[in-house]
Structure 1
Amino acid sequence: MMNAAKVMIVDDDPSLLRLLSMRLEAAGYEPVCASSGEQALAKLPVSRPQVVITDLRMGGMNGMALFGEIHERNPSMPVIMLTAHGSIPDAVAATSRGVFGFLTKPFDSKQLLDMVKQAASFGGEQSSEAPQDEWCREIVTRSSAMDELLSQAHLIARSDVSVFIHGESGTGKELLARAIHRASPRADKPFIAVNCSAIPEQLLESELFGHRKGAFTGATHDHKGLFQAAHGGTLFLDEIGDMPPAFQSKLLRVLQEHQVRPVGSVESIPIDVRMISATHRDLEQATQEGEFREDLYYRLNVVALEMPALAERREDIPLLANHFLHKLRGKEAKKAKSFSPEAVALLVQAAWPGNVRQLYNVVEQAVVLTTSAVIPAQLVQRALRSKGNEILPFAEARQRFERDYLTKLLRTTNGNVTQAARLAQRNRTEFYKLLNKHHLAPALFKE
């Protein structure tokens, strides 16, 4: 059975609004009515329809203005335009701006329903084959921003284009990548996740492309490599922004030629892999500064998705906190069942620089320390202030170490870059790149 797709109808004519609502309901859709463009925008985040049908000429905000507002918030939302003042210029103007369909009044009901059916499918109508709560089951949310992101993700999952996910550390970029894989035709094939910053530079080529026995010291057997392991499925390269420049050209060649050459081999092996990459860094700026290849960036960034920070989706915080509490109760065999209202208020108001990962750590600490069924605000406050048990991601820990190390060197040498580079056993060019990466100006350290 098909789940009823929501269709929003926007018209300032009450009788037409009722008529359209009845016809859509009879056809198995769930209509959501709005008597103006302004009311439609207010209802959109709550109702989250798959399709919008709007009149072109209305008092106040007209249909094209409403379309512009909708597509600024959700570019993949199909909008069907109706008008009694239909003309070729109106239709051309509407369709050139991305309106899904254009019908003139009086319209043919069958033609309208056919267009709605097509639009609902295009906009991500849910079915028993790919129910939304199954493909993105790991992502807990009630946020309209996340719903729009998941709608876009579900849409692009059907294609085979490369996807680039940008977002702060701890926002759940790998969860989104896994969800895209599950919603794709490759769902029954492997999903391989790789943290590029966690693999030493000298081992990266061997890990990704594989190696032949005897290719180097310690290569006692053939190794397939992660590209071959992901053949037919999806390869997720996390923290792609930390990939060494020397390796970037090799990755670009693999993406262009769709084949890998294992270390120590003279033959290339064809691969069929869908690429999803992610980073917390600003890769556009990194390309301008010469730290990341521009051609590789555009090869990876065919479709870009922005993962919102937890502070931008505060309505999800109570939901996520209770979700983690439920998971940890079983793991820790604790009797904690809920948070006190004051504890929830603290969670919602916190800054969350570590995003969802930090929220999990706070809930975990509160569960471990609680002795009652209701977790009090004091334990949450203590967990929010405490950073002693926080385990940083490898990339973030390395970045923090590099910054502290470079700062110490510059202080020791009074900002003398030549001397600092010699102590670090790095050439000046490489040392300057490290300083630029961490926005450290040697002049600030001179006495």
Structure 2
Amino acid sequence: MSQCNSIILVEDEIDVREAAQLTLELEGFEVLAFANGVAALEVINSSFTGIVVTDVKMPGIDGIELLQKITAIDGELPVIVVTGHGDIGMAVQAVRIGAYDFIEKPVSPQHLIAEVARALQTRALVMENRALKRQLHQQNDIDNQLIGNSDAIVRLKSSIKNLADADVDILIHGETGSGKELVASCLHKFSKRSAAEFVALNCGAMPESVIESELFGHEVGAFTGANKKRIGKIEYANGGTLFLDELESMPLQLQIKLLRVLQERKLERLGGNQSIPVDIRVVAATKTDLLEASNRGDFREDLYYRLNVASLKIPPLRKRSTDIPLLFRTFVLQAAQRFSRVEPQLGAEQLQLLTQQQWRGNVRELQHEADRYVLGISELLENSDDTGTAAPVALDNLPDQLASYEKQLLSNALQQSCGRIQEAADLLGIPRKKLYLRMMKLDIDKESFVKKQN
């Protein structure tokens, strides 16, 4: 999620302004304080990643006029209006104009912090969705192809960039649904072969009697029913990339022929004698340990070493749970466009629920869940009360919900970093000191995460 931590505070009374600023800064928020609305408007724009807290009764531009001007700049920028005790009419007017919420004076520090945290979370979701929508129209960068900011995915992106133009055969390891074909496609797209074909073949999806013809092609009369010459996948990929998924399913006899193609970069069609040169890069993917399979006699060891010039390992989704909210929101946006549906809103409780699942089917399973959510048939999320159309959660429970969600995010980062504070802080995008303070407040013991890894 985007890091939204900034607050523009507008209050003409200096004592009240300084007290509110101190309260918020002690909680770790970044506060820009202004004595009037004119000065505040100079720093407000649609790219501002924070929120606004403003008093209503001020000289010059009052809070209502300031709210109207902010709404004209960005209708999705949360504005919390602080009203005098009993001034309900003013509060209702502010909400009708577009205020995120209103708070009555005198404001308790706990109430102010809770409202600000909730508004910042809303702003973070808004900014994240805007970024995702931009990415859907700009699919030329690897960050828009492989979605995620976890350490494992950042390292994977770096490896892809390093290997893309190396023009060596590559072996990809990853569980079912983890995105092996997407990684292979990125290797092709960001290589010097990108102008040529990317040809994919699932070795496990074809019977043994068909896969040889699919790979190597055939001449007329090569077998019964071969009435015309056919170009195989290898030849069709000439100049480009051949992607072989589920390589462990390839028959042993065919592995011998593939090994020869890799060594000589030549092939013969079925029923033919002509040696045809091919300029290809082979990217193969497997969900099993091929070296172990070769020890059992189920896979040729020489083919394994020939393909394993370089290898990439895709982490399972459960080991990069911090990427789940971003992935799911991306899939929801895509599904809403694909199904011509209104994009449903996602809340903290739902995102937390998603990060707690095991996702044995990995990214593919998460994407299917997003499709079901957009279509309104998600069994996992249908009972959640954290959507715009669900029953409202009691406000008294909101601070506990926010704390629970924050604790889950911090715990995920600490688990991923094996309890190393600086690494966890980097994952979360916050200073080390702030992480310590939040851990103390939420009663999180880093030692428990160290022990879990030992």
TM-score band, normalised by the shorter chain?
Answer: 0.5 to 0.7
Q: Which residue of 2 aligns with 1:319?
A: 326
Q: Which residue of 1 aligns with 2:338?
A: 331
Would the alpha carbon gap of residues 192 and 380 (structure 1) be closer, same or farther in structure 2, given more than 3 Å must change?
farther
Q: Which residue of 1 aligns with 2:233?
A: 226
Query: What one-letter code is carried by the residue in structure 2 that aligns with 1:340?
Result: G
Q: Which residue of 2 aligns with 1:385?
A: none
Cα separation, 2, equivalents of 1:197 and 1:231: 23
- Output one character per residue of 1:227-271: Cα deviation in whole Å (capped at 9) or x when no partner: 111000000000001111121111111111111100010111000
Would the alpha carbon gap of residues 344 and 136 (structure 1) be closer, same or farther in structure 2, given more than 3 Å must change?
closer
SS at match of 2:329: helix
Identity of aligned residues (%): 43
1:137 CA drift (Å): 3.0
1:350 CA drift (Å): 0.4
Q: What are the within-5 Å matches in structure 2 for residues 44-123 of structure 1?
A: none
Q: What are the within-5 Å matches in structure 2 for residues 167-178 of structure 1?
A: 167-178=174-185
Q: Which residue of 1 aligns with 2:303?
A: 296
Cα separation, 1, equivalents of 2:191 and 2:143: 12
Q: Does the alignment pair 1:343 with 2:350?
A: yes
Q: What are the within-5 Å matches in structure 2 for residues 16-415 of structure 1?
A: 134-135=141-142, 137-369=144-376, 377-379=381-383
Cα separation, 2, equivalents of 1:280 and 1:265: 34
Cα separation, 2, equivalents of 1:274 and 1:342: 45
Deviates more, 1:230-239 or 1:153-162: 153-162
Q: Is this contact kept in 1: 2:142–2:157, CA < 8 A?
A: no
- TM-score normalised to the size of structure 1? 0.53
Query: What one-letter code is carried by the residue in structure 1 that aligns with 2:382?
Result: Q
SS at match of 1:285: helix
Query: CA-atom RMSD, angstroms?
Result: 2.1
Q: Is this contact kept in 2: 1:259–1:270, CA < 8 A?
A: yes
SS at match of 2:336: helix
Q: Is this contact kept in 1: 2:146–2:157, CA < 8 A?
A: no
- TM-score normalised to the size of structure 2? 0.52
SS at match of 2:141: helix
Cα separation, 2, equivalents of 1:378 and 1:141: 25
Would the alpha carbon gap of residues 136 and 231 (structure 1) be closer, same or farther in structure 2, given more than 3 Å must change?
farther
SS at match of 2:334: helix
Q: Which residue of 2 aligns with 1:404?
A: none
Cα separation, 2, equivalents of 1:141 and 1:164: 22
Cα separation, 1, equivalents of 2:381 and 2:279: 51
1:209 CA drift (Å): 0.7
Structure with bigger gyration radius: 2
Would the alpha carbon gap of residues 150 and 282 (structure 1) be closer, same or farther in structure 2, given more than 3 Å must change?
same
Q: Which residue of 1 aligns with 2:412?
A: none
Would the alpha carbon gap of residues 379 and 268 (structure 1) be closer, same or farther in structure 2, given more than 3 Å must change?
farther
Q: Is this contact kept in 2: 1:370–1:379, CA < 8 A?
A: no
- Output one character per residue of 1:145-183: Cα deviation in whole Å (capped at 9) or x when no partner: 111111011101111111000010000011011101111
Cα separation, 1, equivalents of 2:352 and 2:341: 23
Cα separation, 1, equivalents of 2:307 and 2:326: 33
Q: Is this contact kept in 1: 2:344–2:374, CA < 8 A?
A: no
1:378 CA drift (Å): 3.2
Query: What one-letter code is carried by the residue in structure 1 that aligns with 2:217?
Result: G
SS at match of 2:382: helix
